[in-house]
Amino acid sequence: MMLQPEKIEPVLPQRQPDSTALQIQGLNLWLGHTPVLEGVDLVLAQTGVTTLIGPSGAGKSSLLRCINGLYQNWQGQIELLGRDIRHWPGGWDQLRSHVGLIAQKPCVFPQSIRANVVFGVQGWRQRRRADALVEAVLRQAALWDEVSARLLAPAETLSLGQQQRLCIARALAIKPGLLLLDEPTASLDPRSKQLIEQSVKSLAASMPVLCVTHDLEQARRLGGQVVFMCDGKVIEQADCESFFQRPKRLESREFLSWNVCEC
Amino acid sequence: MLKFWLTFSSLTTAIIILAVLGFLLQASWPLMQSQGLSFVTGTEWYPYEQLYGMLPVLVGSFWSIVLALLLAVPTGLAAAILCAELLPERGRAALRFSMELMAGIPSVVYGLLGLWLLLPLLESQFDLLTGRSLLAAGLLLALMILPTIMVFSESALRAVVTEQRETALLLGLDWPTRLLRLLLPQAWPGIRVAILLALGRAMGETVAVMLVVGSMDRLPQPLYNLLQPAQTLTSRVGREMAEAVVGSVHWAALISSGLALALVAMLLSLLTQRWRS
């Protein structure tokens, strides 16, 4: 019997009436004696993809780690759905269950594919009865057709690309309100890259997605907003087309031409 | 040349193990012949009347080991979790060092400690004549195997991959959930090996147990009464071996205790190897 995919609705504390999902103001982060982020301002709408681009060491991944509370020693203001994340109800763990983060390198647990998908779901009974959820999130991650017949097989038997999509499904299973992706397709084959991009685009129709990438072509394909960062600062934020066609800042133009930035 | 030495060493080890087993079997044969199965089921141990029933020592060994494991496994595991997950690096190093130090203390010192501190305490707490009892043996054994369980379990917990820890954190799971859903299941093979090694040590411990168990060759009344003096396999061998005439049935009976221990130890070792792989 085919299960009806469950529609994944983010479960979040009261949404703000306005269309802002994430608002960052004057974010500063120091790691040791090194400034990593300086005065970062960023706004994310309730839906759509925003790609973070910039040279290595620009602070892109650190920004993601601040948003989901892995770094907590920052100064400034980060508001998710109008709430200061420092005062998120239930603390940092609760915040993380609303902010899915997919790392560059896929990490699966040495368990079955199904167990991996429901790993973050709270409650033993909920995990046991999550067939519909498993199918829904695997479909959203464009993995269902490849694994539906072997959900109880070890997750390590999947290819790297499939493992990364499994990680996306696992993050979606906790019903996040914001999805952060840290170079999700680095070192993956073109087919896996394409599937993940399709998945990200369809997810972005219902939730905000912030994706770090070094691949400018990928940023172009994903569309939405582009945020260019360099040396811990946001240099330019614009919609995809205008950023790539008519970058306003000299640093952006240099980066698009030479893939380097001397800001 | 290296291959030769490796083969030679492996063969020598195997021959020694087989020789030990062969010796134990051959030396305990006179008892098997004279007593048959009543050797295992008999409750009387009177060497002067040629009665060699092993049941009281089997029960004594069983209770002391079970009690030791019941106390040491949760405590050792809790200490391992504290050490691996909660303490800062300096505290972790200090706790681990103290546990390693504990593991290195000779068992006779534990026995003396038991005589000096544990027996008077049990004596006064439970209104006993001497304090020598299965409870004393179990408590002392628990203390002795605690470092083994703690040190090996801590290593197993710390071996859980950092990426997996971070992934569980990213999924918004709180610490107790991460511990139950990720850390303990992942570390379980190592913890299991730790328990088996501790069990091996508890089974083989002689001197410390001999000093506190009471060396009374009778079944506890009732069978679960841990406050009575009793005897274990090792404490009997330790106590009577010097008095037995080599080649006598008494000597064979004591060797049989050694054979029983050796067989169980080998079984445990096999299980450990199997679970490790």
- Domain architecture of chain A: domains with CATH: 20-258 (3.40.50.300)
A188 pLDDT band, cuts 50/70/90, is confident
Chain A CB within 8 Å of residue B43 CB:
no
Q: What is the distance in angstroms between the Cα of A86 and the nearest Cα belonging to chain B?
A: 15
Q: Model confidence over B25-75: pLDDT tens digits?
A: 999 888 888 887 778 888 888 888 888 888 999 999 999 999 999 999 999
Structure tokens at B62: 């069983």
Per the prediction, chain A carries an average pLDDT of: 87
Q: ipTM of the predicted structure?
A: 0.84
The confidence score (pLDDT) of residue B128 equals 86
The confidence score (pLDDT) of residue A257 equals 81
Interface of A with B in 20-79 (CB under 8 A): 68, 70
- Mean pLDDT score, B95-117: 92
Task: Tell me whether residues A101 and B170 touch, CB distance under 8 A.
Answer: yes
B249 pLDDT band, cuts 50/70/90, is confident
The confidence score (pLDDT) of residue A17 equals 47
Chain A CB within 8 Å of residue B182 CB:
yes
Helices B233-240 + B184-204 axis angle, to 10? 30
CA B5, B8, B11, B16 torsion-angle sign: negative
Q: Model confidence over B163-211: pLDDT tens digits?
A: 999 999 999 999 999 999 999 999 998 999 899 889 989 998 888 999 9
- Domain architecture of chain B: domains with CATH: 57-276 (1.10.3720.10)
Chain B CB within 8 Å of residue A101 CB:
yes
Task: Tell me whether residues A107 and B173 touch, CB distance under 8 A.
Answer: no
Mutate to test the interface with A, among B160, B162, B167, B175 (most CBs of A within 10 A): B167
Chain A CB within 8 Å of residue B6 CB:
no
pTM of the model: 0.81
Task: Tell me whether residues B167 and A96 touch, CB distance under 8 A.
Answer: no
Chain B CB within 8 Å of residue A103 CB:
yes
Q: Find out whether B69 and B195 touch, Cβ atoms under 8 Å.
A: yes
Q: Model confidence over B126-138: pLDDT tens digits?
A: 988 888 999 999 9
Report chain A residues whose CB lies below 8 A from the CB of B174: 93
Q: What is the distance in angstroms between the Cα of B179 and the nearest Cα belonging to chain A?
A: 13
Q: Model confidence over A82-113: pLDDT tens digits?
A: 889 999 998 999 999 999 999 989 999 999 99
Chain A CB within 8 Å of residue B186 CB:
yes
Mutate to test the interface with B, among A107, A108, A127 (most CBs of B within 10 A): A107
The confidence score (pLDDT) of residue B65 equals 94
